[in-house]
Structure 1
Amino acid sequence: MRHFFLSYSPGDDDLYVARFFRDLSNAVRVLLGDASDREVGFLDNGTANDRWPSEIRNELATCQTLVVLCSAKLFLDERCGRVWTVFSDRLRAYEAETGRVAPALIPVVWSSRDLPADIEAADGVNAPAQPSPFEDVCVLIRLQSYRPAYEEFVAGLARRVVETNQAHRIPKAPPNVDLRTARNAFEVLQRQGRGARGPQYVHFVIAAGTREEMRPVRQDVDFYGERQEDWSPYRPSAAQSLAARARAVAADRLFGSEVVPIGALGERIAGARERNEIVVVLLDSWVVGLEPFRKALASFDSADKSPVAVLVPASRDDAETSGRRADLRGGVMKLFPHCAQRRDTLFRTEIETPAGFDDDLAATLEEAQNRIFAKGRIFRQPVSGPANARPILEGP
C-alpha cells in the first residue's frame, strides 16, 4: 500500500513531473525514517489511456492520499477526472463509516495559467497546495534561484502526506469499481466554462457500431466493443478507443470535449452553431452499409461550410478494411457528395495510422476554430445606460 498516488495529465512537463515525484518520494521516506529505496508513492503517467492495467487499478484502490498536479489540461483530461472520482468515493465511504473527514485528496497548483475559476466545484477537493509566494510548482522546479522555496514546499507536502496517512486509514475501493466507466469528476467544471470557451469546445460524435451491430457487415469485429465509443480502429498498434485518443489530442490543445452518440448528431450540430462550438464526426466507413447510421449521417452533408468535421480512419493493420478500401471509400464519398466535391479540409478520409490521426485531428481543430473566428455568431454585450455621443476628431 503506497502512501500517495500522483495524478497528472501527461504532456510537455513529463520530465519535471518525474523529478517532482522522486523528490516527494524521497522527502516522505526521510520523514518515515526509511533509508531504503522502497517505493512509497505511485506515478500514474497516463500512458495506458483507457485500458487501465491492473497495477493502476490496485494502486488507486489502496493508496492513502491522492496528490493531483493541477493545470488547465488536467481538468480537460477525462482519465484524471475518473481517478479523482474513484478516490473521492473512497473518502466519502470513510466519512460515512467514521464520521471523520480525511484531507487526503491534495491538489497541487502545478500551473495556475487558465485554471478553472472554481476548482472546488469538483467533489472531494481540499484547499489547493501552493508554495509561497504563490509561484507555480512548474516554475519553482525549473529555476535554480527558487531551489530553497521548492525544497521547502516539497518537505511541507511530504509532511501533509505522512500526517494524513498516520491520522486516517482510507478503505479500499470496492472490487467491482470499473475505472473505464467511472464518472468524470471534472464534467461540472467543463460545463461551467463552456459558455466562455465557444471555439475551444468539441463534440466528438462516434459514428461506429457495437460489436453486435457490426457483425452483419463485416467479419472481423475485434475493433469494436459493447459500446459504440469502444471502437478502436488502430488495434493492435494503438489499443485505446478512438474516442479516448481524440479527447487526449483535444486536451493537449486545451479544448474541452465530450463524446456523444450518433443519434445526437443533428441536435449537436444545431447547438454547436448556436454556441460557436465544434463538432467532429469520427466515422467508421463500414457503417455506411447500415441503414440507421446512413440515415443519421446523410442529414449532415450540406453545401455550406460549417464547423463540422469528418475524420475517417482506415488502418493499414486492418486487413479486411484494406482489402475493401476502394468500396468503402466510394460509399463514404457517395454519402457525403458535397464534402467530396468541394474538397473540404474538414473532411479527411483514409487516415492510416494513429500518428496520422493525431495530426489530422489537430489540424482539423485549428481550421474549424479559424472558421468560427471568421464567420461564427457574434455575441454582443447589451449597452447599458444612455448612448455615448458620437466621437468627433478635432484638429490641433
Structure 2
Amino acid sequence: MPHFFFSYSRKDAPDEYLYRFYDDLCREISVRSHFTIESAGFIDKNQPVGGEWEDSIGVALGTCDVFVPVYSPSLFGSSNCGQEWHAFGTRQSRAGKLAPHIVPVWWVPTPGELPTIADRIQDTRSQFGAEYQKYGLRYLMQLKENESLYRDFLVKFTMMVLAAGENPPELMRDLSLAGAPNAFALKPETTGGRARPRSGLKAGGIKSVRFVVAAGSRDEMRTIRAAVDAYGAGSLDWQPYHPEHPDPIVLHAQGVAIAHRMVSSFKAAMDDDLFELLERCQASREPVVLIVDPWVVELDAYKDLLARLDTARFGTTAVVVPWESGATIESNLRDILTVHLGNWMYAGERFFRDDIRSMGEFEANLGEVLVDMWSRIVKWSDAVRRVDESGPASRPILTGPGS
C-alpha cells in the first residue's frame, strides 16, 4: 500500500522536474519512515488509459494514506484528476470529517480562484518561503541558486506528508473511478459578499435532470466531415474531446449531476417525443439540458429540429454547445448555428453556453447551468406555493356610470 498518491495532470507530465520531485519525495520519505522507496508513493506514470487505468488508480486511491495533488492550471482543467480527488474524498467523508489527509504542492502559480474543493484545503505556502509562495516549486527546481531552498522545502514537505498519514482514512479496496464525478466541476457562488460552495440541492428541491444529446452517428457524420473518430453508433456515443477523454460526453454530464446531488437520465434528441418531453418537464419544473454538437446544423434532419426548437421557449431548459478542442471550424458553421438557435443564444448564458473547448470548461459550465436552473425553479415553485396558500386575491368590484 502506498503512503501517498501523487495526483498530477498528464499535460504537466513531460517535465523532468516533476518526476525528479516525485523521486526525491519517495527517497526522503523512505529515509524518515519504515516505507521503502518503492512503497512510499504511487504515480500513474505509463499507466494505460481506460478500464485498466481505472482499476489500478482505484486500488491506489483506496489504500493510500495521503493524497498529494500537484496544483497547476492543467490539474484543475483535468477531469481525470478531479475524479481522483473525488474518489479519495469518498474515504474521508466516511469518517464524518475532512481530516488533513490532502497535502497539496503548488507546482506553478494558479491564476484566478481555485475550485471550491481545493479552496477548502489550508494554504501552507507561507511555511516554505516567499519564493515558493510566489512562483511555485518548479521555480525552485529550475535555478541552481535555489537548490538550498528546494532541499529545505523537500524536508519540510516530507514531514508534513508523514504527519498527515499518521491516522489514515478508512481503506476502500474496492474503490472505483468508473462514473466518478469531477470534484473540480463544483464552482463557488457568492452570497452577501462571501463565497460559499455550490453544494447542489437542498432537501425538497428538484433532484433530477434530463440530458438530451443532439449529435449525429458516425455514418451520418461521414457525409459532412472527414474526421469522425469522436462519433459512434448513435447520438449518445459522441465524444467531443476524444482522444484525451474517450468516454461519451453524456457520462461526464452525469458525473457533474452526481456532484450536485442530482439523479439524471439521458436520451437522443432525434426521438419523436422530444418536444413532448420538454413540455412535460416544463410543467413538472424539471431541468433539461440539451447538449448540442454544432456540426449537426449541417444535417437536414437536425436543421428542422433546431429550427423548431428555436421558436419555442422552455424556462426549465438550457442549451450547452461543446466545440472540439483543436478542431478546424468552418467559417460559416457558427453563422448557421446562430440562424438555427439565435433566440436561445440571445437569451443569455442562463439558457445558452457556447464555445466550450475542453472537458474542464464543459463540466464547469454545466455545473453553473444546473445550479442556476435549480435556483430559478425553486424561486418559481416558492412563488406558486405562496399564491396557492393565499388563495384567490380579493378584487374590488368596479361599477360604471348609472349603476
TM-score for the superposition, normalised by structure 2: 0.51
Residue 61 of structure 1: CA displacement?
Answer: 1.2
After superposition, residues 355-374 of structure 1 pair within 5 angstroms as none
Structure 2 distance, partners of 1:110, 1:168, is 26
Instruction: Tell me if 1:207 matches 2:204.
Output: no
Residue 171, structure 1, aligned to residue 192, structure 2: no
Letter in 2 for 1:180: A
2:128 is the alignment partner of 1:127: no
User: What is the total number of aligned residue pairs between the two structures?
Assistant: 265
In the other structure, the counterpart of 1:117 is 113
User: How far 1:140 sits from its partner (Å)?
Assistant: 0.9
Query: Cα 1:46–1:261, aligned 2, differ >3 Å: closer, same or farther?
Result: farther
Percent identity between the two aligned chains: 25
SS at match of 2:95: helix
- Cα offset for 1:136? 0.7
Partner of 2:371: none
Within the candidate set 171, 174, 189, 2:187 is matched to 189
Question: Per-residue deviation at 1:117?
Answer: 2.8
Q: 1:206 to 1:77 in 2, by over 3 A?
A: farther
Q: CA deviation at 1:185?
A: 1.7
SS of the equivalent of 1:125 reads coil
Q: Deviations over 1:217-246 (max 9, x none)?
A: xxxxx9759x966545999x88823649x9
| Distance in structure 2 (CA, Å) of the matches to 1:299 and 1:283 | 16
Structure-2 separation of matches of 1:312 and 1:341: 16
| CA distance, structure 2, for counterparts of residue 150 and residue 341 of structure 1 | 50
Equivalences for 1:75-90 in 2 at 5 Å?
A: 75-90=76-91
Matches within 5 A, 1:176-325: 177-189=175-187, 207-208=214-215, 230-231=237-238, 240-241=246-247, 243=249, 281-282=292-293, 295-298=304-307
Structure-1-length-normalised TM-score: 0.51
- Superposed CA offset, 1:317-375 (max 9, x none): xxxxxxxxxxxxxxxxxxxxxx989476999xxxxxxxxxxxxxxx9969xxxxxxxxx
Alpha-carbon distance in 2 for matches of 1:141, 1:345 = 48
The 1:190/1:294 distance shift into structure 2, 3 A limit, reads farther
Residue 162 of structure 1: SS of its match in structure 2? helix
Aligned residue for 2:76, secondary structure, equals: helix
Decide whether the 8 Å contact of 1:70 with 1:108 is kept in 2: yes
Code of the residue aligned with 1:240 in structure 2: it is P
**In structure 2, what is the equivalent of residue 44 of structure 1?**
44
1:107 aligns with 2:98: no
Q: Which residue identity does 1:89 align to in structure 2?
A: T
Deviates more, 1:59-68 or 1:149-158: 149-158
1:66 equivalent to 2:67? Answer: yes
3-state SS of 2:73 partner? coil
Q: Secondary structure at the match of 1:17?
A: helix
Provide the rounded CA distance (Å) in 2 between the counterparts of 1:284 and 1:342.
11
Contact 1:10–1:46 at 8 Å: present in 2 too? Answer: no
> 1:33, CA displacement in angstroms?
5.3
Q: What is the CA–CA distance in structure 1 between the aligned matches of 2:333 and 2:294, rounded to whole Å?
A: 17
Change (3 A) 1:310 1:182: closer
Taking a change above 3 Å as real, the CA distance of residues 119 and 146 of structure 1, as seen in their structure-2 partners, is: farther
Measure, in 1, the Cα distance between the counterparts of 2:55 and 2:37: 23
Q: Deviations over 1:60-104 (max 9, x none)?
A: 1111100011122322222211211111121121246xxxx5311
Which letter maps to 2:4?
F
Question: Alpha-carbon deviation of 1:208?
Answer: 3.7
Letter in 1 for 2:62: A
**CA–CA separation in structure 2 for the residues paired with 1:160 and 1:298:** 59
* 1:232-271 Cα deviation digits (max 9, x unpaired): 5999x88823649x99xxxxxxxxxxxx9876x999xxxx
CA distance in structure 1 between the partners assigned to 2:244 and 2:10 by the alignment:
17
Unaligned runs of 5+ in 2: 191-210, 219-229, 254-265, 279-289, 311-319, 338-354, 359-403
- The Cα of 1:172 is off from its aligned counterpart by 2.1
Change (3 A) 1:120 1:145: farther
> 8 Å contact 1:123–1:185 — kept in the other structure?
no
Match of 1:20 in 2: 21
Cα distance between partner residues in 1 of 2:139 and 2:213: 39
Match of 2:4 in 1: 4
> SS where residue 20 of structure 1 aligns?
helix
- Separation in structure 1 between the aligned mates of residue 294 and residue 49 of structure 2, nearest angstrom: 21
Structural RMSD (CA): 5.2
Map Cα deviations across residues 41-73 of structure 1 (whole Å, 9 max, x no partner): 111359756644311111111111000111223
Contact 2:117 2:183 in 1 (8 A): no
Query: Counterpart of 2:81 in structure 1: which amino acid?
Result: C
Report if aligned partners of 1:95, 1:102 keep a CA contact under 8 Å in 2: no
The alpha-carbon deviation at position 141 of structure 1 amounts to: 1.4
3-state SS of 1:111 partner? coil
Q: Distance in 2 between matches of 1:24 and 1:8?
A: 14
Ranges in structure 1 where 5+ consecutive residues have no aligned partner: 193-203, 212-221, 248-259, 268-278, 302-306, 315-338, 348-362, 367-396
How far residue 12 of structure 1 moved from its aligned partner, in angstroms, is 4.6
Is 1:85–1:183's contact at 8 Å kept on the other side of the alignment?
A: yes
Q: Deviations over 1:284-341 (max 9, x none)?
A: 87x959x6x665445689xxxxx97866999xxxxxxxxxxxxxxxxxxxxxxxx989
